[in-house]
Structure 1
Amino acid sequence: MIAKIDEVIERAVIANRMDTITKEMGYALERSSRSPIFAEACDFACGICNGDGDLVSQINGIPILAAAGTFSIKEVIRKYSGQVEEGDVFIINDPYQGGNHLPDIGIITPLVVDEEVIFYCVSRAHHGDIGGSVAGSYNAKATEIFQEGLRIPPIKLVSKGQVINEVMDLITRNVRNPDMLQNDLWAQIGANKIGVRRLKELIHTYSSSKVKETVGYLLDHAERLTRQAIKELPDGDYVGEEWVDDDGFQLNPIRIKVTVRIRGEQMTLDFKGTDPQVKGFVNSAFVTSTTAAWIGALWALGSDIPRNSGAFRGIKVVLPEGSLVNPKDPAPVTLSTLTPASEIISAIFQALSSIKGVQLPAGFGRYCGPSFYGIDPRTQEFYVGFAFCALGSGGGTLGRDGYPYMAPLSNYGGVRAPNIEANEIQYPHLTLCHEMESNTAGSGKWRGGAGIRYSILFQGEPTNIVMFGDGMKIPPFGAASGKSGSLNYVEIKTVQGETICLASKESTRSLAHGTILTVVSSGGGGWGDPWQRDPERVWRDVLDEIITVDKAEQDYGVLIGQEGVDWAATNDRRSGNQR
């Protein structure tokens, strides 16, 4: 019995140590990187995989990036089987060969002990520019992946500790900000190096055989928890649908359909019925779609299940070839980690929310905003930036209002809103407004998070913007009789005073010095009947300017007087059900 308890404690120590290592990798990456998208927005994820490429531990960073690391490593193993040596570092970004989309570059570093690869450390991060025909690499008018940037298959960047300069030069020669990209690659390599060092220390303490045995146990344990959670759900077929606004070429909505089949301890996510791949860049390649499907399923199955490859074993994902969620090479895919990855998760939510006892949130806002680039008049240096301060908000769920600033669903708050003052130093624009917008939160017993109004004044001649995103036609869905959230809205006001509304997907537009851009992002969907919301909560929302007095009466049946809730009028209105 004593030995058994010791073994349990030892496994827990090793498991927690690996989680700590991934966190340390993330801290190192954040603090050593140079670009705002790394250091400010933290658009990255770090993980540890075993020698077979199975994900063992991951940092709580960007969900859509973290689990994808296992695919990249398995591509490295497939290509370099028997050729992986101590001191090697691999690089990859090709969505059709283990990557998400081209801006997300994966750096993979093996840990070799006695000529055996025990672990791989992986950092995957979004770089500000990876070439292609548009700075920032979000080309809303791309019709093939070659127009989106540089494709990097799994290749060695470092061999036995020596940088392969020809590979580094080839990559940096094809991007617009080579020094920044190279610095961020060094940051990723350094983060992995720390991971390898800490894993060596772990093996030195417990031996490679003990650590490998524990990893096997952790994967099997996650599988058991997943299958048990699936078994507790009633067998059946559950169908969910979600829609993408359009692809920027044709204006019709694009359907994502999923049938969730539960049979005993097995769950299958079958996307048959999803619309065919499209011309524009909203296609989602196999890795991104599979990762999004895992996120949606595990969210429903419970937070106590470790997010590793063992958990994925009980979840089968079927992605019809040639569809929006599994396009054929060379279809463009850059928007995929935002849309439709979030809508894949959303479709699964809507399918599984019909099961009694499964508690899932209402719809989340979708990302919609510009990248912007040009020459900074203060320094005469080229810059590329993104409107991360205009993120949308999350949907309400049983017992809790939706969080603001949590969208899109595929990132779930992983992308941080940059500091306004830092943003104004890094980019030649001035922030005029950054606040929650009234009457954007989806009404419900538990309302959605409010959307964000973000206005900036561009300085410099010219500033170029490219619009990318979704959610201008299809709002975040309401759940359990809750109301839907608001739509995204983007406009520019020219120096002549003209107001121009922008579409969610637009090619490069040049703006004159003094142009003002305003984004009003989506509020999340509401959960539950709004008329069941506590009137005191409605009053607090009025005080906080989340909703107006008229909205309180119209959607919630709550009448507000000078002193707060008019209880007599509210009770009369609600009892009469005068909706």
Structure 2
Amino acid sequence: MSTDSFDPVLLEILGNKFASVTEEMCLTLQRTGRTLYVKETADFACALAGRDGRFFAYPRSIGVSGFVGLECLPAIEAAVAACGALEPGDVILTNDPYRSTGLATHLPDLHMIEPYFDGGEIVAYGWCFVHCSDVGGRVASSISPVNTEIFQEGLRIPPVKLMRRGEMSPEVKLFLDANSRTPEANMGDIRAMLASLATGRRRVAQMLSQHGAAELGAAQGALMDYAAGKAEAVLRTVPEGSYRFADYLDDDAASRLPVRLAVTVTIGGGKVHLDFTGSDPQVATAMNIPSCGRPHAWLTLRMLALVQTLDRSAPLNAGLLRPLSIYTPPGSLVNPEEPAATGVRHAAAIRVNDILNGAFGLALPSVLPAAASGTVIPIVMSEPLASGGRMVQVIEPLIGGTGARQGHDGVDGRDSGISNLANNPVETVEAELGVEVLRYGLRPDSGGAGQWRGGCGMELSFRILSPGSHVLGRGMERLLFRPWGQAGGQPGLPGSLVVNEGQPRERRLGKIDVLEVEAGDIVTFRTPGAGGWGNPLDREAEAVLVDVEAGFVTPDHAKAAYGVALIDGRIDAETTARLRAAQTGSEGTVFGPERDAWDSIFAPEAMDRLNAALLALPLSRRQARRREIFETVLADLPSAFPKSPANAAQAEAAQRRLETCLAETS
């Protein structure tokens, strides 16, 4: 049956049936999962792939729907090819980013693939992944921002057959159990994955009995053709041209040097090209995104979100990426070479989301929002067990809010821009871990001021009950560079981490690897607020009052940021008018003082030249030369730069040193 002549009514029916299969697979996985990160947080996904390895059916709202499954690359095909001939009952397992060509992106994510047969022919593949509690490595939970190569991050599993003809390989199971601090929990989640694949197998078999293999095969292609057409139609509505944007990670977790990500988005004729030239070389820590040079979902999600925002009828499958092409410089942060560490790749992926948001926002300023909070922090607790060993669980996947956009405030304490992880209920956390949660709520005044306010960040404060415990907070970002505001909106507040706040033993920390804590210590994480949109002085005073009454904004902040004075819970109209008349607003993108200070020395054009020169060096030389350059340029600047900006003489001297270094490196 030709996909061109596929009956549209039947296609809609089959598309919904396929999506229902993936949703039932997800429900099975969540209900049978073992760990908090599966049954509560829902860090898993399921999908159906065609014989070409591309996903043609994916759930819209269950699991981490929206990013991991939409790989437009033949990653499943690569894993299948590595395992040779497949038979009914075989299941492939892998977590290796490089050997799976980007299907897996860090080692705790275990991916499974099962072929679904009709007679002796494969008609589709079931796929699922789960984030496991621990797969070995240097630290509990296997993820550390300061790991320098993938060998430190745990057990690497090239594509292998976990199941052969329906029987689990005892050798593979032995390796899995021997390389984890939480083997029983891992195996519980693995069996839940197998159950989800079995659910998919049964449901696909039912569809085969109703429609036949030929019709289902044609429907797979037709669904992706339909999605591709929808994406092209949306892109034709975007003004043609090239749009460039750059942003930074605070640092590489091993130094105080920021890490740059840049993109040029070129749109025309219903097509879009993403060029990441200007992004930093791969770092010697764990922020690298293993895209393998392909249009990976981690690098394209914002385009998918744009298509589905402007056309909500577009089906969620790999066809959405057909109008897209991409260039990722080999050896860069977005296309690292093996054995680069990748454990905290989500931190860089979130910043990629931000720069795509910024670039598309130049084309569609009334559609795209200001920057979201820009961080997802899975806060991990590791505590000793009486029987020996350690328990490893995620307390919360702490996030911030979404950026404001024209006509709408951002969402407070919720950001599904990169994933839609759920929070763990406080009661469940306290029942399973040795912590007492003291506060878990929104962070007042953190959302960027604007005509439309940015979403508030979160605050989580907990007391440690078990001696000898460790806390890990992977993915901490926006502690320095704030989530930017748009159209004159102000940036959100940066994040923070403090232990024993207000006490003699207070410690204010930046990014952490393994934080050793003792019983009685109080740990407080605060996530950034998102950027605002539009001049804060144009916000209706009544809307500011509502924010104050709801606890999103304090009275002092209402006065300082919005020019709204309150007396006894009411608006002081006279003082408000005077305050607003005396203030002026900003225009365009507002990055905040720290980014402005950085750009005053390291201008965008200079950074483009620097990264081009570094990528021309041998891989083994790039990071050392990068450090040498920054140490030279920053030598006479304030030690807290860019939090403490340089004066004019210092800035001019630093710029001259940078030009000298660029000439020497080129």
TM-score by length of 1: 0.94
Q: Which amino acid aligns with 1:87?
A: G
Aligned to 1:189: 194
Q: What whole-Å deviation, never above 9, does each CA across 1:107-162 have from its counterpart, x for those lacking one?
A: 11110112221111111111111110101111232110000111111111111111
Superposition map of 1:293-332 within 5 A: 293-303=299-309, 304=312, 305-332=314-341
Corresponding residue SS for 1:383: strand
Is contact 2:397-2:421 (8 Å) kept? Answer: no
Aligned to 2:449: 443
Corresponding residue SS for 1:354: helix
1:566 and 1:251 map into 2 onto residues whose CA distance is 45
Superposition map of 1:87-486 within 5 A: 87-96=89-98, 97=100, 98-286=103-291, 290-303=296-309, 304=312, 305-337=314-346, 339-356=347-364, 359-365=367-373, 366-368=375-377, 370-376=379-385, 382-388=390-396, 390-407=398-415, 409-411=417-419, 414-468=420-474, 469-486=476-493
1:111 and 1:228 map into 2 onto residues whose CA distance is 33
- Structure 1 segments unaligned to the other structure (5+ residues): none
Larger mean Cα displacement after TM superposition, 554-563 or 529-538: 554-563
1:494 and 1:311 map into 2 onto residues whose CA distance is 48
Q: What whole-Å deviation, never above 9, does each CA across 1:250-285 have from its counterpart, x for those lacking one?
A: 211111010111131221101011110111111111
Larger mean Cα displacement after TM superposition, 564-573 or 311-320: 564-573
Aligned to 1:26: 26
Q: What whole-Å deviation, never above 9, does each CA across 1:431-474 have from its counterpart, x for those lacking one?
A: 11112121111111221111112111111120012342222111
2:460 and 2:142 map into 1 onto residues whose CA distance is 23
Larger mean Cα displacement after TM superposition, 399-408 or 511-520: 399-408
Larger mean Cα displacement after TM superposition, 289-298 or 91-100: 289-298
Aligned to 1:518: 524
Larger mean Cα displacement after TM superposition, 476-485 or 283-292: 283-292
Is contact 1:389-1:454 (8 Å) kept? Answer: no
Q: Which amino acid aligns with 2:331?
A: G
Q: What whole-Å deviation, never above 9, does each CA across 1:327-366 have from its counterpart, x for those lacking one?
A: 11001110002x1001111101111101146611211221
Q: What whole-Å deviation, never above 9, does each CA across 1:531-561 have from its counterpart, x for those lacking one?
A: 2222211101111121111211221122222
Q: Which amino acid aligns with 2:197?
A: N
Corresponding residue SS for 2:224: helix
Corresponding residue SS for 2:362: coil
Q: Which amino acid aligns with 1:13?
A: I
2:560 and 2:506 map into 1 onto residues whose CA distance is 30
Residue 234 of structure 1, CA deviation: 2.4
- Quick one: structure 1 residues 382 and 539, their matched pair in 2 at CA, closer, same or farther if it must change by over 3 Å? same
Q: What whole-Å deviation, never above 9, does each CA across 1:345-396 have from its counterpart, x for those lacking one?
A: 110111110114661121122134642202256x877311224263222211
Corresponding residue SS for 2:514: strand
Aligned to 2:564: 558
Is contact 1:487-1:523 (8 Å) kept? Answer: yes
1:289 and 1:313 map into 2 onto residues whose CA distance is 10
Corresponding residue SS for 2:296: helix
Task: Please point out which of 66, 77, 85 is paired with 1:74.
Answer: 77
2:443 and 2:214 map into 1 onto residues whose CA distance is 56
Is contact 1:448-1:524 (8 Å) kept? Answer: yes
Is contact 2:139-2:514 (8 Å) kept? Answer: yes
2:75 and 2:343 map into 1 onto residues whose CA distance is 17
Is contact 1:495-1:514 (8 Å) kept? Answer: no
1:94 and 1:410 map into 2 onto residues whose CA distance is 21
Q: Which amino acid aligns with 2:241?
A: G
What is the RMSD of the two structures over their aligned residues, measured on CA atoms? 2.2
Aligned length: 570
Corresponding residue SS for 2:277: coil
1:138 and 1:217 map into 2 onto residues whose CA distance is 40
Residue 71 of structure 1, CA deviation: 4.7
TM-score by length of 2: 0.82
- Structure 2 segments unaligned to the other structure (5+ residues): 586-666
Q: What whole-Å deviation, never above 9, does each CA across 1:165-222 have from its counterpart, x for those lacking one?
A: 1111111210011011011000011011101111111111111111111121111111
- Quick one: structure 1 residues 289 and 173, their matched pair in 2 at CA, closer, same or farther if it must change by over 3 Å? farther
- Quick one: structure 1 residues 496 and 562, their matched pair in 2 at CA, closer, same or farther if it must change by over 3 Å? closer
1:494 and 1:565 map into 2 onto residues whose CA distance is 34
2:321 and 2:409 map into 1 onto residues whose CA distance is 30
Residue 430 of structure 1, CA deviation: 0.6
Is contact 1:399-1:446 (8 Å) kept? Answer: yes
- Quick one: structure 1 residues 554 and 329, their matched pair in 2 at CA, closer, same or farther if it must change by over 3 Å? same
Residue 40 of structure 1, CA deviation: 1.1
1:578 and 1:361 map into 2 onto residues whose CA distance is 22
Aligned to 2:88: 86
Corresponding residue SS for 1:180: helix
